[in-house]
Structure 1
């Protein structure tokens, strides 16, 4: 598989977060994987966040390959209820990512992800690392002015782009992280839900392909983006 097959929200208030995302994204988010923010992460000062897991055949081998390229494993590798294994790392660009045994058949994670965006301290190194480890392919490179230069990638050769890598250098207040874009039918009412719940909104803005996006934080400070438009589906 070697693509994101699972998303998990690690948060400071599980019931409130579940209510928020169900109101925002509908019933598809009602069964989202939402868990308490681990104490170790909170002790390091980590806010609530969405964590993506890339499916691999051999978790130990993936961890070693990541470490050889400068990643740091955060905590031990754990077994999963389905007999697989999972590990969490800080990648060479500073973002948190999970690797887990890919199930034989996996449906796209809920809520629906329209785009996956990696903000990295060294975008070129980070892009090369993911391509080397998972077989991802670099595609278009787009300069979006104040939003930075976006190096797009596809999960497989010949497929449409599913995400992009952006260097955090020059982007004020942006730290290294994976930002997942959730698809919505209409952006304006979705942003009103975010604001009324006590979340924050940056934007909206229009992309070159006509899609409209806004970067948000939920009431527990977990970052995500909302995306309106046909665009390309990431997962």
Structure 2
């Protein structure tokens, strides 16, 4: 990851000027009141190995994958955070080349800054924002690891288990949302799937790779939100682990194009997530 100047309001036609981080999902984070219970639940469902204890002063635990890499992090949701409206949730981090420029451009384009930009030593500069329809996410200018300035995040993958494989935005204004993310991050939108009364399920791309989709927010969903679909080795096994671990399956497993299966669920503390993978 490298630091270069980029104006977030540039069009997608100039996307070749972006660094490898700008516009890509580079981290995922679970905000939960009980990280120990989250470890028990997600380790069983996904096959992760979440740190049993935080490694620093803040109660923040890395999500370990079976291959030795990290899939994201788990942060404890404190009473103070709850008093300011925070709730159990999965949040994605979108890499940017300049956090302050991105926050200013997001606010100019109708989004909001929920948490002002700040620096985390040896990690990067981040800010919590929403899009114009209220869906929250982080923007982050990462600090490259010492001695490895070209390292690229691998927490997202189109086909690997134990990584997020799909990013889905439910919003009351799909056209406006697509225009917003295209303008801010250089994403493109090509292709869709007819969902009947729900309208089009519109695929979104980052540098030509399908990273997810935008859909109309269903009436039962109270707010606009991103849902992150985590890859698993077997959807049937994972579904049973959700139920036995105190979670709730909202729909699925259902077969999706390509022959795999997906489902939507809540963890025991109410954070929504998705799973995708094969079925034995």
Whether the TM-score (by the shorter chain) exceeds 0.5 is: yes
In structure 1, the residue matched to 2:261 is 212
What is the alpha-carbon distance in structure 1 between the residues aligned to residue 200 and residue 225 of structure 2?
Answer: 16
Q: 1:216 to 1:146 in 2, by over 3 A?
A: farther
Matched, 1:181 2:229: yes
Matched, 1:12 2:33: yes
Matched, 1:118 2:164: no
The alpha carbon displacement at 1:106 in A equals: 3.0
Gaps spanning 5+ residues in structure 2: where? 1-20, 52-61, 64-72, 157-161
The alpha carbon displacement at 1:206 in A equals: 1.6
The alpha carbon displacement at 1:174 in A equals: 5.3
Gaps spanning 5+ residues in structure 1: where? 231-235
Between Structure 1 and Structure 2, how many residues are aligned? 227
- What SS does structure 1 have at the residue aligned with 2:116? coil
Q: How does 1:56-205 map to 2 (within 5 A)?
A: 56-82=96-122, 84-102=124-142, 103=144, 104=149, 105-109=151-155, 111-145=162-196, 148-156=199-207, 159-168=208-217, 170-173=218-221, 175-201=223-249, 202-205=251-254
Q: Deviations over 1:90-132 (max 9, x none)?
A: 2112111100003442332284011110111211111111111
- What SS does structure 2 have at the residue aligned with 1:22? helix
- What SS does structure 2 have at the residue aligned with 1:23? helix
Worse-matched range after superposition: 1-10 or 172-181:
172-181
The alpha carbon displacement at 1:147 in A equals: 5.5
The alpha carbon displacement at 1:41 in A equals: 4.8
- What SS does structure 2 have at the residue aligned with 1:51? strand
Matched, 1:37 2:91: no
What is the alpha-carbon distance in structure 2 between the residues aligned to residue 50 and residue 197 of structure 1?
Answer: 18
Contact 2:171-2:214 within 8 A present in 1 as well: yes
What is the alpha-carbon distance in structure 1 between the residues aligned to residue 77 and residue 199 of structure 2?
Answer: 30
What is the alpha-carbon distance in structure 2 between the residues aligned to residue 190 and residue 78 of structure 1?
Answer: 37
What is the alpha-carbon distance in structure 1 between the residues aligned to residue 121 and residue 239 of structure 2?
Answer: 36
- What SS does structure 2 have at the residue aligned with 1:74? strand
The alpha carbon displacement at 1:154 in A equals: 0.7
- What SS does structure 1 have at the residue aligned with 2:210? coil
What is the alpha-carbon distance in structure 2 between the residues aligned to residue 210 and residue 137 of structure 1?
Answer: 25
In structure 1, the residue matched to 2:273 is 224
Matched, 1:24 2:45: yes
Larger Rg, first or second structure (1 or 2): 2
- What SS does structure 2 have at the residue aligned with 1:124? helix
